[in-house]
Chains A and B, each alone.
Chain A
Amino acid sequence: MNIHELSMLELATKLADKSLTSVEATQACLERISETEPKLNAFIYVDAQGALEAAAASDKRRSRGEALGPLDGLPMALKDNIFVAGLKTTCASRMLQNFVAPMDAAVVQQLRQAGMVLLGKLNMDEMAMGSSSTSGVFGAVHNPYALERSAGGSSGGSAAAVGARVLWAALGSDSGGSIRQPASFCNVVGLKPSFGRISRRGVVAYASSMDQVGPMARKVKDIAALLTLLAQPDEEDVLCNPRPGGDYTQGLEQGMGGMRVGLWRESLEGADKEVAACIGEAAKACERLGAQVEELSLPLSRMAPLAYALISAAEASSNLARFDGIRYGHAGTQAPNLHALYFNSRGEGFGKTVKKKLTLGTFVLSSGHYEAFFVKAAKLRTLLCEEIKQAFKKVDLLLSPVASTPAFPLEFNPTPAQSAALDTHTVLANLVGLPALSLPYGFSAQGLPIGIQLMGKAFEEAALLRCAHALEEDKPSFQRAPLL
């Protein structure tokens, strides 16, 4: 048995029937990390000692018949913008290179309460801004299916580690596609839940009205199990839904008969031929599985990336103002006055991508430009919400590509227009707060993974997961492992 080929829930079954121990699973992970890290660079920090101690404690609980739940003893890791008490949370930025989290994030508390073993922190784009996982201070993450290509971003480390069979599951965060696009590039399932479905307490803020934490794994069932654990109210995050999500593993087998699927027409404009072919194939599969498929036009969606660019920059400039070298973050050197200290701290602490975002955000919020840019973008967002609301009166689900192309080369240096186009299909779900999932659905002729995106109604993750599971079961051939 190759332990790394098991899905997360298959491993959970082995732990439950004691054919494997948590220490064995954790050691297997650590060995796999040693093998793959020189090629992938998916981890920023590996807490081997802490993980082995937690695994041993889990095994003791199981031997006493006191397991904390079905996921007790399962190793997993987190994107490095999620607080783990006592460990550094760097956001892959020089600004936070020495910042030690004073507390656990809400999601980390939930993982610990379930007995899960935290292996370490995963690489990402700096401050979660980016679509390539190349902008962080710890270097680029490599795609396990083609090492010279991007793993996607910003949760590239999470996707690469799961895709490479290093981990069975990981957490990422998604403000404009940062779970779904790397999931698509690395052949894993990635879910951005509805805005407010999972607490964000203890997650470093980027674009507060869109940030969401979400799970990444190789099977939809694993995602459902993790969402069941994480979709809990949190009175310390006022934007977190006060109603628990329920058990998302129930009803997964009910199929997609009777579902109405909308094929998002504009999302296919400019899509690579092989990506478009995958979407066509998925649409046929939906019909074969009993769903009704109709093409649906969302004309305003073409402007969603513009609204996203303006709003995310504004929110980022506000959120990251706290990193000034005094309240938080790297303190600049040789400053003759306060202004120079701020300049040096932020100039030395942030990389090029973050600087561009913060400059734009400051510009769109500044007097004289606020009305023309930020206010109009926020009004466009209202129109987008209305367009989506009308669309979901006709359909239960929207089908689209995750990205227009498979993974691009690491050296790809996009123009501003190309950079904005990388998020074209994913930002809409963040702007309107809907759940969306990336499902592996094929490979290009070059062997690069291609994912499809399914978007559902607000807080109806159960239906989204049910359909994704039906499609996954219909076409299991895309579970091809990388040659790594």
Chain B
Amino acid sequence: MEFSKEALEAAVQAAVHHAHIGMSEEAFLACQQEMEFITGWAKELEALALEDTPMTISVNLPGTCPTRPDELSPSMGSKEALAQAPVKMGSCFVVPQIIE
């Protein structure tokens, strides 16, 4: 897949937007350089006959997947589970205001 300089910049902008990452101009340029290199390198994939090849998503899956009995068992208490939660005010969590 070929990318012009403008197309690549737009692709990086879109990826940054979807990834929700604020970044400086310097960091953006570093991302753009990285993507330019990788998309150029990935042209080598076109030389491979991959049409009938299945994807490998994971390897070494042992025999059967272990399962747990479908029954209730003690789990982490609510105090521990909420230890990292935002500060509470009354019965509510205090979170940043997000409604404009």
Contact = CB atoms under 8 A, between A and B. Distances in A.
Interface of A: 99-100, 102-103, 194-196, 209, 233, 235-236, 238-243, 303, 306, 309-310, 317, 324-326, 328, 331-332, 335-339, 341-344, 346-348, 350, 352, 355-356, 358-363, 366, 369, 372-373, 375-383, 385, 415-417, 420, 431-433, 458-459
20 contacts: A100-B83, A209-B59, A238-B65, A241-B60, A242-B63, A303-B44, A309-B38, A309-B41, A355-B31, A356-B27, A361-B19, A362-B15, A363-B12, A372-B45, A380-B50, A382-B54, A383-B50, A432-B59, A433-B59, A433-B60
B31 A341 contact: no
Contacts of B81: 102
A324 B20 contact: yes
Interface of B: 1, 11-12, 14-16, 18-23, 27, 30-31, 33-39, 41-42, 44-45, 48, 50, 53-66, 68, 76, 80-81, 83-84, 95-96, 98-100
B62 A242 contact: yes
B66 A235 contact: yes
Given A242-B66, A359-B15, A376-B50, A346 B22 contact: yes
A378 B21 contact: no
Contact of A358 (B19, B39, B60): B19
B92 to A, nearest CB: 14
Given A335-B96, A355-B23, A432-B59, 14 more contacts: A100-B83, A241-B62, A306-B42, A306-B45, A332-B96, A355-B31, A356-B34, A366-B15, A376-B45, A379-B55, A382-B54, A415-B37, A416-B34, A433-B60
Q: Name, among B23, B38, B41, B81, the residue most crowded by chain A CB atoms within 10 Å (CB to CB).
A: B38
A434 to B, nearest CB: 8
Is chain B's interface secondary structure helix, strand, loop, or mixed overall?
loop
A348 B63 contact: no
Contact of A359 (B35, B59, B64): B35
B61 A346 contact: no
Nearest 6 CB-CB pairs, A to B?
Answer: A347-B22, A433-B59, A378-B55, A416-B37, A342-B20, A343-B22
A342 B22 CA distance: 8
Contacts of A341: 96, 98
B95 to A, nearest CB: 7
Contact of A310 (B37, B38, B48, B59): B38
A310 B53 CA distance: 17
Contacts of B20: 324, 339, 342-343, 346
Nearest to B26: A352
Contacts of A242: 62-64, 66
Contacts of B31: 355-356, 359-360
A346 B53 CA distance: 37
A336 B100 contact: yes
A383 B48 contact: yes
Given A379-B53, A416-B33, A459-B60, A350 B38 contact: no
B33 to A, nearest CB: 6
Nearest to A358: B19
Given A366-B18, A416-B34, A459-B60, A380 B45 contact: yes
B60 A194 contact: yes
Contacts of B95: 326
A347 B11 contact: no
A360 B56 contact: no
Contacts of A310: 38, 42
A317 B19 CA distance: 8
A331 B96 contact: yes
